[in-house]
């Protein structure tokens, strides 16, 4: 029974050890390979982020490719911060292309993830970009909502660059609503910040927007004064190196002159701006300038010039359409590429979720199997423990029974010896026939003692017949008395108890134990009881 329990325990332990060992080795290999893979993916992610931040590429498709790479790496590493940044970068690139609907779809994905994975900086960037997109879509209420959240974060964290950009967007929102006082107030504050932090490029943009706001609110003199501030406060090198700003400056000043009726100055600015736009192949600006020149010629009733400017306007429109067609084709190709990348990303996310489900299922199955094996082991151990308790209880009862028989035998033997001595002493003076009767009684008493001793031996032989039979088969050189001593030792009798039962001296019992140890070939370091339990 004990050997079976140990065998089961050893088997279960070996199974768990082998499983744990294989898992450890497998985990070590996977950990090493995953560590290298994670490092490679993080390096790819960093290079994509660096490219997007630098803005060195002239092809927006490169930035889209980098943004999708960020999303792919984020999904593979299960890094929500990378995924959010990928959606923000993708939305920003699509915004730069004028694809506001697509940009809005991706930026809302980032905002949705930010609801459960908070990142204040990313949340502010996403809100700023969302507000800018709604501004382009002429949704001022939605734009203001997101821009104000971004403004609060940038103001609290002293992020001047982003704060200036957000203030510019808010000013544009006020202008869309016709709230020109709030728009101009915001632009003045924006200009002050640009001046304070020495950002002349943004100063120029702020002044151009202020002039546009004054023109839209029919404050012509203030608009011209604002443009005059550009001549005084903005370095000429900045204007001359950025023809798009110089063209816009001349267009706005010409429109303000035309509103004042100063047609000559207006035509001069329009023509100067037209030359710059033609040199830069800026067909959109050429269209606006030809249109304004046509209007001025119409007001002055210069019909020959009007005809020339109007033909130029139509030619610029045709060129703008021709120029737009290749762009539309490339945009369609780009959108097709974006659609394919979206599908690939969805497949990747689906595969990642499937892998997670598979790993989770395998883990659950392994845990259930281990739990079931553990349950079987402990259930078997519980049964074996109950059997052992019952076995010990039976041995305890046997010990008590044998002790009672031994005590009875010892007392009976003592009483018989005392009676025999008394009869011998009393029979010395009696006749011979009575002496013979007394001797016959003594023999009968001795027979009773022998019968009781045989009773003790019979009880031991019957109760432990299997053990004695097994012992006899394995070690035939043992005597019957030695076998009974082994049975009493297995029950739990001490040497003193056995000496009392067998009615022998301690020395005699020790000699018997030595013989048993020798015949059973028991090592010196092992007790006889331990050896007997292992049988």
The average pLDDT across 263-268 equals 92
Tokens 């033609």 found at: 278
Instruction: Quickly state the pLDDT bin for 88 (edges 50, 70, 90).
Output: very high
> Which residues contact residue 31 at a Cβ distance below 8 angstroms, ignoring those fewer than 6 apart?
none
Structure confidence by residue, pLDDT tens digits, 405-425: 666 666 666 777 777 777 666
Structure confidence by residue, pLDDT tens digits, 291-346: 998 998 888 888 888 888 888 888 888 887 776 555 554 555 566 666 777 777 77
How many angstroms separate the Cα of 202 from the Cα of each of 38, 166, 190, 222, 235? 40, 12, 9, 20, 12
Instruction: Quickly state the pLDDT bin for 15 (edges 50, 70, 90).
Output: very low
Separation of alpha carbons 433 and 130, rounded Å: 135
Of the candidate ranges 96-110, 115-129, 221-235, 313-327, the one whose mean pLDDT is the lowest: 313-327
Q: How many CB atoms lie within 10 A of CB 141?
A: 9
- The long-range contacts involving 389-392, CB below 8 angstroms and separated by at least 24 positions, are 391/1
Separation of alpha carbons 136 and 233, rounded Å: 29
Structure confidence by residue, pLDDT tens digits, 448-506: 666 556 666 677 777 777 888 888 888 888 888 888 888 888 777 778 777 776 767 88
Q: What percent of the chain has pLDDT over 90?
A: 24
Single pTM value for the model: 0.60
Separation of alpha carbons 128 and 445, rounded Å: 117
Q: How deeply is 74 buried, as exposed, middle or buried, from its count of CB atoms within 10 A (0-12, 13-18, 19+)? A: buried
Give pLDDT, residue 453: 61
Which phi and psi angles does 185 have, rounded to 5°?
A: -60, -45
Of all helices (H) and strands (E), which one includes residue 375? helix 303-426
Give pLDDT, residue 446: 67
Give pLDDT, residue 54: 82
Structure confidence by residue, pLDDT tens digits, 74-86: 888 888 899 999 9
């Amino acid at each position: 029974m004990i050997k079976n329990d140990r065998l089961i325990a050893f088997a279960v332990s070996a199974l768990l050890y082998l499983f744990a060992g294989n898992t450890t080795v497998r985990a070590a290999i996977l950990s090493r390979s995953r560590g290298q893979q994670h490092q490679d993916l993080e390096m790819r992610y960093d290079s994509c982020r660096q490219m997007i931040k630098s803005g060195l590429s002239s092809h927006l498709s490169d930035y889209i490719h980098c943004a999708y790479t960020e999303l792919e790496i984020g999904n593979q590493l299960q890094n929500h911060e990378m995924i959010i940044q990928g959606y923000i970068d993708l939305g920003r690139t699509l915004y730069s292309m004028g694809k506001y609907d697509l940009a809005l779809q991706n930026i809302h994905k980032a905002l949705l993830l930010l609801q459960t994975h908070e990142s204040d900086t990313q949340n502010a960037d996403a809100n700023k970009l969302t507000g800018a997109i709604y501004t382009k879509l002429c949704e001022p209420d939605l734009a203001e909502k997101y821009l104000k959240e971004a403004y609060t974060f940038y103001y609290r964290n002293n992020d001047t660059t982003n704060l200036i950009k957000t203030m510019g967007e808010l000013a544009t929102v006020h202008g869309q609503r016709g709230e020109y006082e709030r728009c101009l107030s915001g632009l003045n504050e924006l200009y002050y910040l640009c001046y304070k932090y020495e950002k002349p490029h943004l100063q120029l943009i702020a002044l151009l927007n202020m002039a546009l706001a004054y023109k839209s609110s029919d404050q012509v003199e203030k608009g011209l004064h604002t443009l005059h501030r550009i001549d005084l406060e903005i370095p000429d090198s900045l204007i001359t190196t950025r023809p798009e700003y110089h063209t816009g400056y001349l267009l706005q000043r010409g429109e303000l002159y035309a509103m004042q009726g100063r047609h000559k100055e207006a035509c001069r600015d329009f023509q100067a701006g037209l030359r710059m736009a033609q040199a830069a192949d800026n067909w959109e600006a050429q269209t606006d300038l030809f249109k304004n020149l046509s209007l001025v010629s119409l007001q002055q009733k210069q019909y020959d010039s009007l005809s020339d400017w109007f033909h130029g306007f139509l030619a610029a429109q045709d060129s703008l359409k021709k120029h737009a067609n290749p762009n539309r084709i490339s945009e369609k190709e780009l959108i097709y590429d974006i659609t394919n990348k979206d599908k690939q990303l969805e497949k990747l996310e689906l595969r990642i979720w499937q892998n997670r489900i598979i790993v989770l299922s395998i883990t659950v199955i392994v845990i259930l199997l281990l739990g079931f094996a553990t349950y079987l082991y402990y259930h078997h151990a519980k049964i074996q423990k109950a059997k052992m308790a019952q076995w010990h209880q039976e041995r305890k009862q046997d010990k008590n029974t044998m002790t009672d028989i031994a005590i009875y035998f010892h007392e009976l033997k003592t009483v018989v010896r005392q009676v025999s001595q008394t009869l011998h002493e009393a029979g010395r003076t009696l006749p011979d026939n009575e002496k013979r009767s007394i001797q016959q009684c003594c023999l009968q008493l001795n027979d009773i003692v022998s019968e009781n001793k045989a009773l003790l031996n019979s009880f031991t032989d019957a109760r432990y017949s299997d053990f004695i039979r097994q012992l006899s088969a394995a070690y035939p050189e043992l005597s019957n008395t030695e076998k009974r001593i082994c049975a009493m030792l297995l029950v739990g009798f001490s040497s003193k108890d056995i000496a009392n039962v067998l009615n022998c001296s301690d020395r005699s019992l020790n000699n018997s134990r030595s013989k048993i140890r020798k015949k059973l070939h028991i090592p010196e370091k092992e007790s006889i009881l331990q050896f007997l339990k292992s049988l």
